[in-house]
């Protein structure tokens, strides 16, 4: 629950359907670095808590700040630093909301994660799941859930996907929810009303360069950094057009001289339109998580004691004497052996070795680490001369 009306009505519908649910707020960002903008996480927690009290359900706050920085903020800043346009909302849904948070929910005994997304989920005859658009075309958010895997879709629930926004607010008012008339957020996913330029200015240093017209290579202005612009952008370039009813748009970025390539918004603009798009099927990664056994998670085994080797080849541990493991038999050498005369041995009194009790070695169970591949490494240069089109995720307002 984010403290908005969408997740509030999602909890309301699940409560009316008789589900046993708990409201949880993901604490991802508290603006520790004093980025310019409003980050109302405290107010969001209070609003979400008030809704849970109204519905009579439990409310929890889950701290995922470190995972959010490592999986979303790092991906966001790295993409902009390389001249790309990342989409933090898509990555937040895949890596945080239906990634780390979903695993946290499973570890605490929950079977599914429900959100306030305007999307729907359909089950296919073969047991797989399909992601469908929301009924409200103006609020459809299936695009931001496009990278979810089948395992994530199996645990996802979208209770409000069949509702239009006006009807949803009407349900919130009828139920007396305090978030019925709360304004929708338009900032970065679970960060708040923070403008992207202000966020980038605080973490990515400016790298000025020329603004070059792609048709003839003429410099028409200067820019502060390539990370402030995206392909197809028209507003905010800062270069006036000298042609009536024509405006410049960004058509490419050149990393060699930090040049921002612009052209008029025409079908013949180099790099602005493509005749061919290559699509690749998604790669399914196995979920590195196992549900806890009945009765709760088992404790980790005690670490094995250190062994010391006896000069005679025997190993000692906890007062017992263990036999040294038998050496593997070596394969005979096919070459003929030269027989040597037997050596004369002295007569020694041999003592039979002490028989030790059988030893059982306790091996620690494997510990699975959560590994995720965040984003794909796209080329740095997006020049209009490129013959192949590299799909780039463009961040849109929710």
- Tell whether 288 is covered by a domain: no
Report d(CA 171, CA 180) in Å as an integer: 8
Helix (H, G, I), strand (E, B) or coil at 250: strand
Whether residues 252 and 218 share a domain: the answer is yes
Last residue of a domain, one of 200, 229, 251: 200
Domain CATH code at residue 174: 3.40.50.620
DSSP assignment string, 39-102: --HHHHHHHHHHHHHHHT-EEEEEE-HHHHIIIIIHHHHHHHHTT----HHHHIIIIIIIIIHH
pLDDT in tens, 129-187: 999 999 999 999 999 999 999 999 999 999 999 999 999 999 999 999 999 998 887 65
Q: Is 189 a catalytic residue?
A: yes
Pairwise CA distance, residues 25 & 14, whole Å: 17
pLDDT per residue as tens digits for the range 69-90? 889 888 988 888 887 888 888 9
Annotation marks residue 359 as catalytic: no
Is residue 162 situated within a structural domain? yes
Which carries the bigger pLDDT value, residue 35 or residue 350? 35
Contact 203, 78 (CB under 8 A): no
Given a cut of 60, whether residue 294 has pLDDT beyond it is no
pLDDT in tens, 320-366: 444 545 555 555 555 555 666 666 555 444 444 444 444 443 333 33
Do 94 and 211 share a domain, yes or no?
Answer: no
Q: Which two tokens stand for residue 260?
A: 């921002």
* CATH number of the domain bearing residue 389: 2.30.30.280
The catalytic position among 39, 52, 92, 359 is 92
Q: Which domain holds residue 273?
A: 207-281+369-398
Beta bridge partners of 260: 211, 253
At a CB cut-off of 8 Å and minimum separation 6, what does 14 contact? 21, 114, 157, 159
Tell me, yes or no, whether 11 and 67 share the same domain: yes
Per cent of the chain over pLDDT 90 is: 37
| 163 domain-assigned | yes
Residue whose tokens read 């075309």 = 137
pLDDT band at 286 (very low <50, low <70, confident <90, very high): low
Residue 31 has pLDDT above 70, yes or no: no
Residue 357 placed within a domain: no
Answer whether residue 298 shows pLDDT above 70: no
Active-site residue, selected from the candidate residues 39, 52, 189, 359: 189
Q: Quick one: 107 and 231 in the same domain?
A: no
- pLDDT tens digits along 229-281: 888 888 888 888 877 788 899 998 888 888 999 998 888 888 788 788 888 77
Choosing from 185, 200, 215, the residue where a domain stops is 200
202 or 211: which leads in pLDDT: 211
Phi, psi of 306 (to 5 degrees): -75, 145
pLDDT computed for residue 103 by the predictor: 94
For the stretch 89-138, pLDDT in tens is 899 999 999 999 999 999 999 999 999 999 999 999 999 999 999 999 99
Q: What is the pLDDT of residue 319?
A: 46
Judge whether residue 4 has pLDDT over 70: yes
What integer pLDDT is reported at residue 107 of this predicted model? 93
Q: How many domains does the chain have?
A: 2
pLDDT (tens digit, 9 = 90+) per residue, 356-398?
A: 444 443 333 333 333 333 333 333 334 343 333 334 343 334 3
Cα–Cα nearest to 22, from 11, 13, 38: 11
Note the pLDDT of residue 114. 96
Residue in the block written with tokens 């088992």 = 298
């Amino acid at each position: 629950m984010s403290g908005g009306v969408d997740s509030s009505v999602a909890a309301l519908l699940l409560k009316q359907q008789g589900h046993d649910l708990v409201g949880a707020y993901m604490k991802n960002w508290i603006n520790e670095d004093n980025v310019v903008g409003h980050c109302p996480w405290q107010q969001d927690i209070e609003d979400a808590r008030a809704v849970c009290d109204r519905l009579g359900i439990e409310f929890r706050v889950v701290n995922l700040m470190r995972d959010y920085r490592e999986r979303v903020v790092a991906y966001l800043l790295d993409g902009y630093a390389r001249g790309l346009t990342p989409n933090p909302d898509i990555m937040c849904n895949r890596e945080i909301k239906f990634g780390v948070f979903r695993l946290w929910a499973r570890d605490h005994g929950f079977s599914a994660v429900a959100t306030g997304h305007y999307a729907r989920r359909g089950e296919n005859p073969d047991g797989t799941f399909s992601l469908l658009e929301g009924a409200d075309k103006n609020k459809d958010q299936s695009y931001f859930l496009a990278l979810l895997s089948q395992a994530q879709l199996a645990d996802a629930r979208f209770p409000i996907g069949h509702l239009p926004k006006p009807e949803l607010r009407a349900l919130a008012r009828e139920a007396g929810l305090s978030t019925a008339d709360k304004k929708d957020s338009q900032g970065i996913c679970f960060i708040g009303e923070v403008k992207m330029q202000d966020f980038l200015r605080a973490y990515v240093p400016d790298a000025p360069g020329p603004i070059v017209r792609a048709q003839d290579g003429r410099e028409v202005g200067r820019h502060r950094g390539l990370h402030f612009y995206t392909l197809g952008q028209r507003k905010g370039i800062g270069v006036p057009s000298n042609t009536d009813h024509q405006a410049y748009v960004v058509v490419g970025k050149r990393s060699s001289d930090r040049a921002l390539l612009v052209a008029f918004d025409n079908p013949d603009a180099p790099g602005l339109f493509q005749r061919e798009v290559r699509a690749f099927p998604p790669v399914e990664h196995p979920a590195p998580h196992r549900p806890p056994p009945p009765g709760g998670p088992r404790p980790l085994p005690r670490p094995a004691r250190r062994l010391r080797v006896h000069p005679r080849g025997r190993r000692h541990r906890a007062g017992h004497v263990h036999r040294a493991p038998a050496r593997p038999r070596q394969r005979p050498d096919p070459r003929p052996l030269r027989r040597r005369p037997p050596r004369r041995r002295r007569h020694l009194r041999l003592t039979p070795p002490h028989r030790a009790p059988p030893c059982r070695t306790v091996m620690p169970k494997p510990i699975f680490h959560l590994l995720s591949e965040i984003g794909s490494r796209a080329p740095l240069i997006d020049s209009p001369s490129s013959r192949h089109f590299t799909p780039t995720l463009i961040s849109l307002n929710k």
